[in-house]
Amino acid sequence: MSSSSATTQAFSLIQEEFEQPCPIRDVLDRIGDQWSLLILESLAPGTLRFNELSREIGDISRQMLSRTLKRLETDGFVQRTLYAEVPPRVEYTLTELGQSFLVPMRELVKWADTHHARICQARRESKSG
């Protein structure tokens, strides 16, 4: 690889890393969607197959589950393992990064649960004038 090619590749990696200039927003945008936290919590006890995960969550479409799992895999939260069997078996498990996120995630969920009534009350008051 030429030195100019290596420089171009290094610049490309740096540019990709900083596409989203705010790391907090970048991470929260990805895990703050409607389904990611539910998927991560469902995988906390251990490995699940796609259909088990779908049943665990309940009201998620297969397409949305698949899309969200791919994003979580891309970001390093979830590991997908495909077994060459007939029929193919696919399992999902939390990575070390995914496991490390459970602690702050659960604190956030606890905070939201504790303060939800106050937030709803503030919304009602804001609407009434």
pLDDT at site 1: 55
What SS3 class is residue 46?
coil
Name the percent of the chain in helix, strand, coil, to the closest 5: 65, 10, 20
Residue 106 confidence class, pLDDT cut points 50, 70, 90: very high
User: Taking the model in full, what pTM does it have?
Assistant: 0.76
Does 124 or 28 have the greater pLDDT score?
Answer: 124
Does 4 or 42 have the greater pLDDT score?
Answer: 42
With a cut of 80, say whether residue 46 has pLDDT above it: yes
Q: What angle do CA 38, 119, 60 make, to 5 degrees?
A: 20
